[in-house]
Amino acid sequence: MPVSARRRRSGHPDHAPMRHTAAVDRYTSSERLAEQYSDSARLRIRQETHRRYSANSTSFVEWLVDLLELRPGMSVVDVGCGHGLYHPILRSRGARVIGLDRSMGMAREAAAGCMAVVGDAQALPLPDHGFDRVMCNHVLYHVPNQLLAMRELRRIARSEGRVVIATNGSQTNQRMYEVARLAARDIGRRDSFSRENPFRLEDVERVREIFPTAYVEVLRNEFVFPEPESALRYWRSMRDDPDLEAAMRRRIEAIIEEEGEFRVPLVSGCFVADV
């Protein structure tokens, strides 16, 4: 069972959280996060889509774990661990894994493969300088105060340790959202599909405020969908909207008829920082 730890004060001065817009609030609202991550069902659909429909055969999980440069016996903290996607490969390389998530449901699922803790990335309930490697993957765009969260990642990393933070580039999934925008217009709706991701690979200068030596590694890919349903199942895991989905289906069918498949470019990667 996961450990529910009390909130720890970091002792660092707080930074102002990111500016709020409707798009940013969609990433960080408690209601939205509960809908998406109270358990792993929706997340697993997206992960399965990446496994089945990616053009690039390179596993993002293995690619990222390689960047950790693990040695047997090292301790790894996975902040925002979800159901523990990375944990089998971490354990196979001899790491001792601590998984932390704000969702009790996610931490409960992850507990099968790690020491699981429930906690907030902005106030990690973990000791100073206690861990060889720290990772935080596709999480910080859901955190209101990213600088504070990054201070916490740095605080818990040992001297000569490494922190790896994964996120997406600004162009990832843009074609899917363009189809959604056009479909919304088809049914007389206002375009409401801004992709203002509040933490992107392009935000390296923000990361360097906390990790001055951070550098960016990028893995390019694309979805290749042979028929509409596989793309729409992925979309449905993020938004439940039958009317919009029906209009998107027509758009995707037209693309497949013209191009033979529906390709959606993806740009993901991570910041790597030695501390």
The mean per-residue pLDDT over the stretch 220-244 comes to 96
Query: Rg for the chain (alpha carbons), in Å?
Result: 19
Query: Strands, DSSP E only, in 115-230?
Result: 115-118, 131-137, 157-168, 215-225
CA angle in degrees (0–180, nearest 5) for 144-85-223: 85
pLDDT value at position 14? 43
Question: Distance (Å, rounded) from C-alpha 230 to C-alpha 246?
Answer: 14
Residue 12, pLDDT > 60, answer: no
Of residues 221 and 14, more confidently modeled: 221
Tokens of 94: 């001899």
pLDDT in tens, 88-123: 999 999 999 999 999 999 999 999 999 999 999 999
Q: What contacts 223, CB < 8 A, 6 or more positions away?
A: 49, 50, 53, 54, 55, 176, 231, 234, 262, 263, 264, 266
94: left (phi over 0), alpha (psi -120 to 50) or beta: left
Residue 16, pLDDT > 70, answer: no
Letter for the amino acid at 214? A
Question: Distance (Å, rounded) from C-alpha 77 to C-alpha 161?
Answer: 12
pLDDT value at position 20? 47
CATH of 3-170+196-220+266-274, one of 3.40.50.150, 3.40.718.10, 3.65.10.10, 2.60.40.10: 3.40.50.150
The mean per-residue pLDDT over the stretch 59-70 comes to 98
Q: Are strands 115-118 and 96-101 parallel, antiparallel or unpaired?
A: parallel
Binning pLDDT at 50, 70 and 90, where does residue 15 land?
very low
